[in-house]
Amino acid sequence: MSSRPLPVVQRVPLPQGTPEYEALRQKYLSELEASIPDEYYLPQSLIDNPPRDVTSVPRECGILTAEEIDITENYDATALAAAIASKKFSAVAVATAFSKRAAIAHQLTSCLVEYFQGEALERAKALDEHLEKTGKTVGPFHGVPISLKEHMPIKGHYTAVGFLDTRHVDDYDCQMVAILRAAGAVFYCKTNQPQGIMHLETVSPLGRTLNPHNIDLSSGGSTGGEAALLAIRGSILGIGTDIGGSIRGPAGFCGIYGYKSTSYYLPTKDFLVGGFAAELTVLCSTGPMGHSLRDMDLFCSVVKASNPHIEDPALIPIPWTGIATAPKTTPLKVGIMWHDGAIIPQPPVKRALAWAKEQLETKFPGKFEVKPFVPYQAAEAMINIRKAYWPDGGNAVRAHLAVTGEPMFHLTEWILKDAVSDQELPVSKVLEYRVARDIYRQKFVADWNAQDVDVVISPVFVGPACEHETAFYWNYTALWNYLDYPGVVFPTPIKALKKGAEDYAPEDATPLSEQDKHTRELWAKGDFENAPINLQITTRKYHDNELFGALAALQEALVLP
């Protein structure tokens, strides 16, 4: 036990709840604090005066050895698996390195909710012994550390569905965890998610997760703990879920890869026990988050090779071909979605789109047919999407909060404004929403066909990573959930400049809506320096393999890691 509390950087205070709630919250925080060894603590002076960009702190703080810095910074999951299999590194050395770096990452960004290094080292030791005895790995992820979002059940550890009253210890592995464990993965931590798991910022009773590139900005949500941990290289591979942008938004904010599959393509069994009413109209998906395109491909290859549809009949048994999938058209037809008709993206995002267009047109002439893409009535669709998220009128949220006296957070209040009323909707109204969704999907695909594109490159968000408590507009991710189209968010070399260094172009001077006007006000007020600018690529429903085939074709042109 440390002689001082675990120091964690926090930029914006959390709302206070009832004494019962605060006591329960402190209990969980104390458990997390006790699990992190004292020798991994950062100096209090650094916590009190952190740099704005904390990504270099793990390398420079003196806690990690030279080998641990090498392990955590110079490999992706694919290369790390090969290094362990060849005995360049032991699984114990790798688990130690990432566990230590995750502890450092948490103090800088508040990204963790549970930490179990001891269990990870026991697992890694057993894997090393197996490799030494048999000369074989147990699977493709032998010894590779994988971090998990809090709501994904893993035996012997806490799970919660976004409220303190739901936190409990599970006695089983969910299907995804079981598949990855069988493939040799080592689990060592669980990461933060927001209240209700329905914000594009990650702020929970256990902390507000900060963006490692600029701690005055959000890490995104709802898989923001994963994204921050990955961005600071405290994880090599993570898993998220996405019903409105919860993988893609954080990946975009933090400058990493994130893949939202088509629904029922990758396993989500037991992710949300009891379900979520929004899925009556908008379906949730899952997918990996990581550092390289080939890691995204490897993850999906391993998971799909386990034939998860045999255990869960809801899953669609489409085999994985991923980056080996050959594009069906030559040249590849790439649509650029400059805006959605409601909000013109802030200047750095427009700059990233222009960069992508130039790369495709000038660096590889003739290989790609690049054209503008206008999404069919996207602004109108967003109205229906927001209503569809809360068919219970938000009653489940309020009931969970009441159990412990948990306060309703600011962004929870914001998203519940979209509920039609505070009463559960009748079946007839839910049916109306579903019919409207299906009609929209049919019209959208007809328009997609008329515009004749294979894939669409678009913004991830209305701007760079936003300032805390301002993740208001989900337009650029939620549209694809409503359509159930797969999407990958990928990094670009573009970053937000110093405040005042760029502004809206003259042709974008007039706001398209009140939301657009508000977005411009946030831009004028904020300081987004050093925020990564990612882009998003999408394609038709269940064309996940074709999506990765397109990314492989685009990899050199877009300088994709």
- For residue 195, give the nearest of 3, 465, 415 by alpha carbon: 415
Question: Is 154 assigned a ligand-binding role in the annotation?
Answer: no
The identity of residue 334, as a single letter, is V
| Helix (H) or strand (E) segment spanning residue 525 | helix 514-525
Dump strand ranges (E) for 262-323. 285-290
- Compute the chain's Rg from CA coordinates: 22
Q: How far apart are CA 75 and CA 82, in angstroms?
A: 10
Q: Give Cβ neighbours of residue 86 (< 8 Å, ≥ 6 apart).
A: none
Active site residue: 100, 149, 190, 350, which one? 149
Q: Which residues pair with residue 332 across a beta bridge?
A: 368
Specify the length of the chain in residues: 561
In three-state secondary structure terms, 455 is strand
Question: Is 301 assigned a ligand-binding role in the annotation?
Answer: no
- For residue 335, give the nearest of 441, 452, 450 by alpha carbon: 452
- For residue 430, give the nearest of 394, 393, 388, 396 by alpha carbon: 388
* Alpha carbon separation from 155 to 103, 158, 159, 173, 259 (Å, rounded): 21, 9, 10, 5, 25
DSSP states of 19-37: HHHHHHHHHHHHHHHHHS-
Q: Which two tokens stand for residue 32?
A: 């997390």
Q: Are 540 and 483 in contact (CB under 8 A)?
A: no
- Burial per residue of 197-226, b for 16 or more beta-carbon CB atoms within 10 angstroms, e otherwise: bbbbbbbbbbbbbbbbbbbbbbbbbbbbbb
Question: Is 235 assigned a ligand-binding role in the annotation?
Answer: no
- What are the backbone dihedrals phi and psi of residue 504, each rounded to the nearest 5 degrees, phi first? -60, 140
2 part of the active site: no
Active site residue: 246, 261, 292, 306, which one? 246
Question: Is 244 assigned a ligand-binding role in the annotation?
Answer: yes
Q: Which two tokens stand for residue 235?
A: 């994880």
- For residue 477, give the nearest of 495, 459, 496 by alpha carbon: 459
Question: Is 245 assigned a ligand-binding role in the annotation?
Answer: yes
Q: Are 261 and 287 in contact (CB under 8 A)?
A: yes
Active site residue: 222, 235, 263, 285, which one? 222
Q: Give Cβ neighbours of residue 494 (< 8 Å, ≥ 6 apart).
A: 348, 351, 352, 355, 532, 533
260 part of the active site: no
149 part of the active site: yes
Q: Are 422 and 390 in contact (CB under 8 A)?
A: no
Q: Give Cβ neighbours of residue 322 (< 8 Å, ≥ 6 apart).
A: 297, 300, 301, 545, 548, 549
Task: Give the per-residue SS3 of 163-203.
Answer: CHHHCEECCCCCHHHHHHHHCCCEEEEEECCCHHHCCCCCE
Question: Is 197 assigned a ligand-binding role in the annotation?
Answer: yes
Q: Give Cβ neighbours of residue 427 (< 8 Å, ≥ 6 apart).
A: none
Q: How far apart are CA 503 and CA 116, in angstroms?
A: 46
**Structure-token match 């695909």, residue found:** 445
Which residues are marked as active site? Answer: 149, 222, 246
Which residues does the annotation place in the binding site for substrate?
197, 222, 243-246
